[in-house]
A and B are shown apart, each in its own frame.
Chain A
Amino acid sequence: MEITRRHLLVLLPAAAVGWKFVLAGTPEDAPNYKLSEHWWGMLIDIPKCIGCGSCVRACAQENDVPEGYYRTWVERYHVTDYQLERPQVASPDGGKQGFPPNEIGGKNFFVPKLCNHCADSPCTQVCPVGATFLSPDGVVLVDKTYCLGCRYCIQACPYGCRFLNPKTNTAEKCTLCYHRITKGLTTACCEVCPTGARQLADLKNPKDPIHEFLRTHTVQVLKPQMATGAKVFYDGMDGSVR
């Protein structure tokens, strides 16, 4: 089609309007987000988790997690009688596709796992160049443009939350969907959890229901003996959980 002057006069304003819509769809820079006003963590309500694996799938999709690696995963525990020290644990494909039927006898429950965004995290301590760091709003992040790929942080994490991304050759882990939470959204895993077993928590926000929850429930963090200042709180966690 030949573009005449008349066509151009119509097309240009249309393109301008279209471009405005294109811009509207791009992520904002979150201008109103103040780092100092937040201190992020998460609440995991173990009795509510049904082991559907939606969180694992959503995380993998949202964050382009490579196959065979996990920023979050779900473990199923089977504990018989008093054998707290010898639970049977399984997490096939990180629980991404759910689990086969529960074993009979004893108790069964699911435990979602993710980076604990520790306030005193061993992983940030050991990074030789400071490529992994605790952000002022309490999220442990990795600068993949700076990471050497030495994997000392992976060794230092007591929870097995880190891995080396085979595409970028840098350390990777849960970012608590930083690109979402800084824009007022919740994390992908919390967003899709059908039972509300995972809830993003802003520990600096006095109106966040986490405060009421922590006051009225018995909660625990994973491996408290590690003294890492973990900020993922587990409600109803059995003593067998590792």
Chain B
Amino acid sequence: MQIPVEGFMYPNEVELQWSVLIVLYPFITGLVAGAFILASLERVFRVDAVKPTYRLALLTALSFLLVAPLPLQLHLGHPGRSFEMYLTPHSSSAMAMFGFVYLWYLMAVLLLEIWLDYRRDIVVKSETSSGVTRFIYRVLTFGSNVISERSLRIDERLGYFITLIGIPSAFLLHGYVGFIFGSVKANPWWSSPLMPIVFIFSAMVSGIAAVMLLYMLSTRLRGRNVEIGCLDKIAQYLLYTFLIDFSLEMLDLIHRIYEADESFRSLDFMVHTRLWMSQVIVQILLGTVAPIALLGLTQVLKFTEVVRKRIYALAGCLTVVGIFAMRWNVVIGGQLFSKSFLGYTTYKMGFATREGLLTAIALMILPFGILWILVKLLPPWPDSGSIPALVTPPAHRTS
């Protein structure tokens, strides 16, 4: 397959090395980190208004986190050797830490917090359900059946502590992803100390927007009314985070334009040609300026509840698309120009290939499938009423 090239590329540069799957990786981990940080608002910062989304945010984070390593795994030339990163990690490599950061976040933070939060419900269900369901819940109790007031208090305290650890961990998870790109000194499009911070804030933006949309959608599907107070609060946080994110990105952009180093002319040309649509139109105008303006309007003008809901939905969708475009522009854009700064190549995405469009779509659908199962298993709705009243535990189990 002939890849169109403009100007001069080093001969080995013509073919892009990191495909759309590597675009998905920071996008998905960003959703995880953002969703978790939204959940922690309620737990740590006691923002009661966002309580209806607390559990949904945790389950969303878990669903996406479970899928996060898949694009990487599919991208590897030798997927079977990936375990070597755990056995013989190369201490000087940023990428070598992926497995440990991932496992820490999955095992020590997210799974533990969800389990502690749901433990009472799990125990109750293991005692009130029957058949296979009963078996599943019994397994999920991990033998910890005590749900006395004291033990629930311990759960609560421990959960709080884990959320405290979880916030820096979420920052670590996504800041680390940013560092993987930001530390590549050979690539001026990536190499920036701001990259991890921009990644963290864009992660928060995408995660908050995604949970907000999921909350609206799931409430609608259940035939309930969304709590507008909750939505208002989430939208407010989304706006504030977005403003910080946008400021950071603009700072990076202005710095590059003003400094105009040896790579500037090449990168500037790329933005005005190959990345014009994905960066200027989709990421900046539609995916950043438009949602900020929409969310800003809701803060300044008095809209009816229905209008506000529609604005939030539109702003949320634009935000998620915009952040995806941002990941695309970082990963793909960073490979479109030559390190000689004399030419440009083209990204040809396959369709039904291992790293093609179909795989990417499947990987983006998968977390929603997992979320659906998790929601069935562990209903996150505070008003669901599916959990029976606390049964008095048998005498021998109380402490």
Residues of A whose CB lies within 8 Å of any CB of B are 69-70, 73, 75, 85, 87-91, 93-94, 113, 122, 124-130, 146-152, 154-164, 168-170, 226, 242
- What's the least CB distance linking B384 to chain A, in Å? 43
Given contacts A158-B185, A164-B17, A148 and B12 within 8 Å (CB-CB): no
Q: How many angstroms from the CA of A203 to the CA of B251 in the assembled complex?
A: 45
Instruction: In the A-B complex, list the 3 residue pairs whose CB atoms are closest, starting with the nearest.
Output: A149-B77, A160-B10, A169-B77
Q: Are B77 and A164 in contact (CB under 8 A)?
A: yes
Q: Are B341 and A150 in contact (CB under 8 A)?
A: no
Q: For window 12-64 of chain B, which residues contact chain A by CB distance below 8 Å? A: 12-13, 15, 17-18
Q: Is B85 an interface residue (CB 8 A)?
A: yes
Contacts of B9 in A (CB 8 A): 160
Q: Are B78 and A147 in contact (CB under 8 A)?
A: yes
Whose C-beta in chain B lies nearest to the C-beta of A89? B8
Whose C-beta in chain B lies nearest to the C-beta of A73? B11
Q: Are B90 and A128 in contact (CB under 8 A)?
A: yes
Contacts of B136 in A (CB 8 A): none
- What's the least CB distance linking A114 to chain B, in Å? 11
Binds A, one of B94-102, B299-307, B371-379: B94-102
Given contacts A126-B95, A146-B81, A70 and B8 within 8 Å (CB-CB): no
Q: Are A169 and B12 in contact (CB under 8 A)?
A: no
Scoring A70, A87, A163 by chain B CB atoms within 10 A of each residue's CB, the highest score goes to A163
Q: For window 304-358 of chain B, which residues contact chain A by CB distance below 8 Å? A: 335, 338-342
Residues of B whose CB lies within 8 Å of any CB of A are 8-13, 15, 17-18, 72, 75-78, 81-82, 84-85, 88-90, 92-96, 98, 180, 184-187, 262, 335, 338-342
Scoring A146, A159, A226, A242 by chain B CB atoms within 10 A of each residue's CB, the highest score goes to A242
Q: Are A160 and B12 in contact (CB under 8 A)?
A: yes
Contacts of B82 in A (CB 8 A): 148
Q: Are A152 and B186 in contact (CB under 8 A)?
A: no
Q: Are B85 and A169 in contact (CB under 8 A)?
A: no
Interface of B: prevailing SS:
loop
Q: Are B11 and A94 in contact (CB under 8 A)?
A: yes
Q: How many angstroms from the CA of A128 to the CA of B95 in the assembled complex?
A: 5
Contacts of A90 in B (CB 8 A): 8
Q: Are B186 and A169 in contact (CB under 8 A)?
A: no
Q: Are B186 and A129 in contact (CB under 8 A)?
A: no
Q: Are A146 and B186 in contact (CB under 8 A)?
A: no
Contacts of B94 in A (CB 8 A): 126
The contact sample of 25 A-B pairs, CB cut-off 8 A, is A93-B11, A122-B184, A126-B92, A126-B93, A126-B184, A128-B89, A129-B84, A129-B90, A129-B93, A130-B90, A146-B81, A147-B81, A148-B76, A148-B82, A149-B78, A151-B18, A152-B180, A155-B18, A155-B186, A156-B185, A157-B186, A159-B10, A160-B12, A160-B13, A169-B77
Scoring B12, B76, B90, B335 by chain A CB atoms within 10 A of each residue's CB, the highest score goes to B12
Contacts of B184 in A (CB 8 A): 122, 126, 155-156
Whose C-beta in chain A lies nearest to the C-beta of B82? A148
Q: Are B339 and A158 in contact (CB under 8 A)?
A: yes
- What's the least CB distance linking B256 to chain A, in Å? 17
Query: Can you add 8 more A-B contacts, CB < 8 Å, to A149-B77, A155-B17, A158-B185?
Result: A93-B11, A128-B85, A128-B95, A130-B93, A148-B76, A150-B95, A155-B18, A156-B184
Q: Are A169 and B342 in contact (CB under 8 A)?
A: no
Given contacts A155-B184, A155-B186, A160 and B339 within 8 Å (CB-CB): yes
Q: Are B85 and A151 in contact (CB under 8 A)?
A: no
Q: Are A125 and B92 in contact (CB under 8 A)?
A: yes
Given contacts A125-B92, A149-B76, A169-B78, A159 and B339 within 8 Å (CB-CB): yes
Contacts of A94 in B (CB 8 A): 11
Q: Are A155 and B187 in contact (CB under 8 A)?
A: yes
Other-chain residue from A70, A147, A152 in contact with B95 (beta carbon distance below 8 A): A152
Q: Are A91 and B90 in contact (CB under 8 A)?
A: no
Q: Are B187 and A146 in contact (CB under 8 A)?
A: no
Q: How many angstroms from the CA of A147 to the CA of B80 in the assembled complex?
A: 11
Contacts of A147 in B (CB 8 A): 77-78, 81
Contacts of A150 in B (CB 8 A): 72, 75-77, 95
- What's the least CB distance linking B268 to chain A, in Å? 14
- What's the least CB distance linking B119 to chain A, in Å? 36
- What's the least CB distance linking B223 to chain A, in Å? 47
Q: Are B77 and A128 in contact (CB under 8 A)?
A: no
Contacts of B98 in A (CB 8 A): 128
Q: Are A130 and B17 in contact (CB under 8 A)?
A: no
- What's the least CB distance linking B21 to chain A, in Å? 12
Scoring A113, A148, A151 by chain B CB atoms within 10 A of each residue's CB, the highest score goes to A148
Q: Are B90 and A113 in contact (CB under 8 A)?
A: no
Contacts of B78 in A (CB 8 A): 147-149, 169-170
Q: Are A127 and B93 in contact (CB under 8 A)?
A: yes
- What's the least CB distance linking A227 to chain B, in Å? 9
Q: Are A151 and B17 in contact (CB under 8 A)?
A: yes
Q: How many angstroms from the CA of A55 to the CA of B339 in the assembled complex?
A: 23
- What's the least CB distance linking B108 to chain A, in Å? 21
Contacts of A226 in B (CB 8 A): 185-186
Scoring B11, B13, B78, B96 by chain A CB atoms within 10 A of each residue's CB, the highest score goes to B11
Other-chain residue from B12, B18, B185 in contact with A122 (beta carbon distance below 8 A): B185
